[in-house]
Amino acid sequence: EDKVVQSPLSLVVHEGDTVTLNCSYEVTNFRSLLWYKQEKKAPTFLFMLTSSGIEKKSGRLSSILDKKELFSILNITATQTGDSAVYLCAVQPSTSGTYKYIFGTGTRLKVLA
Amino acid sequence: GAGVSQSPSNKVTEKGKDVELRCDPISGHTALYWYRQSLGQGLEFLIYFQGNSAPDKSGLPSDRFSAERTGGSVSTLTIQRTQQEDSAVYLCASSSARTANQPQHFGDGTRLSIL
C-alpha cells in the first residue's frame, strides 16, 4: 500500500531557529513529491521535486529529494512567527490513468516570538 | 475567478440528511480533485477528474459518496445519509494540465459538521 510518513508530528521553536521537516514515502513507481504550507484554510504550494539531489530554494525555505532512500526534507532557516503552519508532503505515484496524490498527516510547526 | 472557489464555507446538518458541496475550479484547469481532512489528519484522497476521462473514484469511502463534474468545470460532491464520521473539511483542488508537473491549487474548503 502506498504511504507517506511525515516527522515530527509537531514542533515548537523560537524565532531565528532552523528547522528540518522530514517526509518518507513508499509508493509504486514514484513520479513527484510536493510540499505545501497550510495555515488556516487552503494549502499553498511550496515545492515540487522530481529529481534526486537537486535543491529547490525559495527565500528561507529549501527542499531536497533522495529517491534512493525514499525521503525528502524541508528546511526553514531563521524562522519567523509567520512560518507557523502545518506543512504537508504529498507524493504522486506513477499509475496509469490517474494522477492522484497521497498526502502525509503533516508536521505542525509553531514558531514562538 | 482568481482561485478555486468552494461553497458553502461551512455546513451544519443533522445525521441522515444529504449534503451537496460545490467546487468551482480555476478557469481552464482540466484536473479536479476532492480531498477530506479530518481534525489533525492529513488529506485523504476521494476522487479525481481529468477532462472527459472516467474519474478515479478509488478514494470514495462508501457508496454514500458520489461526485460529478458537469461540462468539465464545476464539480459537486454529494454525501447521502450523512453520518457523524463524515464531519471534516472537504477540500477541492485543480491543476492545469494532464501531466504530473503542475501543482494543485486548493480552495478554502467546506467545513462539514454532522450533528
How high is the mean pLDDT of chain B? 91
B35 close to A (CB below 8 A): yes
Average pLDDT over residues B74-90: 96
pLDDT band at B104 (very low <50, low <70, confident <90, very high): confident
Looking at per-residue pLDDT, the higher value among A107 and A96 belongs to: A107
User: What's chain A look like in SS3?
Assistant: CCEEEEECCEEEEECCCCEEEEEEEECCCEEEEEEEEECCCCCEEEEEECCCCCCEEECCEEEEEECCCCEEEEEECCCCHHHCEEEEEEEEECECCECCCEECCCEEEEEEC
pLDDT tens per residue across span A82-101:
999 999 999 988 765 567 88
- Structurally, what CATH architecture does the domain formed by B5-98+105-109 represent? Sandwich (2.60)
User: Is the CB of B20 inside 8 Å of chain A's CB atoms?
Assistant: no
Q: What's phi and psi for A82, nearest 5 deg?
A: -70, -10
Name which residue leads in pLDDT, A101 or A7.
A7
pLDDT of residue B107: 95
Q: Among partner residues A48, A98, A104, which is closest to B103 by beta-carbon distance?
A: A48
The three grid cell numbers given for residue A92, joined into one nine-digit string: 504522486
Give me the total of CB pairs closer than 8 Å, taking one residue from chain A and one from chain B.
66
Identify the pLDDT of residue B71: 79
Note the CATH number of domain A3-112: 2.60.40.10
Distance of residue A75 Cα from the nearest chain B Cα, in angstroms:
20
Query: What does the pLDDT look like over B61-81, one tens digit per residue?
Result: 999 999 999 877 899 999 999
* Residues 9-28 of chain A whose Cβ lies under 8 A from any Cβ of chain B: none
Strands B110-114 and B88-95: antiparallel
Q: What is the pLDDT of residue B53?
A: 83
Contact A100 B31 (CB under 8 A): no
Average pLDDT in chain A? 92
Cα–Cα distance for residue pair B100/B45, rounded to 1 Å: 16
Domain boundaries, chain A: 3-112
**Domain locations in chain B?**
5-98+105-109
Q: Do B106 and A98 touch (CB under 8 A)?
A: no
* CA separation for the pair B8, B94 (Å, rounded): 18
Cβ distance of B48 and A42 shorter than 8 Å: no
Minimum-distance CB partner of A103 among B43, B98, B100: B43
Reduced to 3 states (helix: H, G, I; strand: E, B; else coil), residue B1 is coil
Q: Do B107 and A42 touch (CB under 8 A)?
A: yes
Q: Is the pLDDT confidence value at B26 over 80?
A: yes
Check residue B1 and give its pLDDT: 52
What pLDDT does residue B97 have?
65
pLDDT at B99 over 60: no
Residues from chain A that touch B31, judged by Cβ atoms under 8 A, are: 99
- Reported as a pLDDT band with limits 50, 70 and 90, residue B100 is low
Amino acid at the residue B94: S
Question: How far is the CA of A26 from the CAs of A60, B4, B9, in angstroms?
Answer: 28, 30, 34
What letter does residue B83 receive in the DSSP assignment?
Answer: -
Nearest CA in chain B to A49: B101
Mean pLDDT of A24-28: 90
Least confident range from A70-79, B1-10, B69-78, B97-106: namely: B97-106
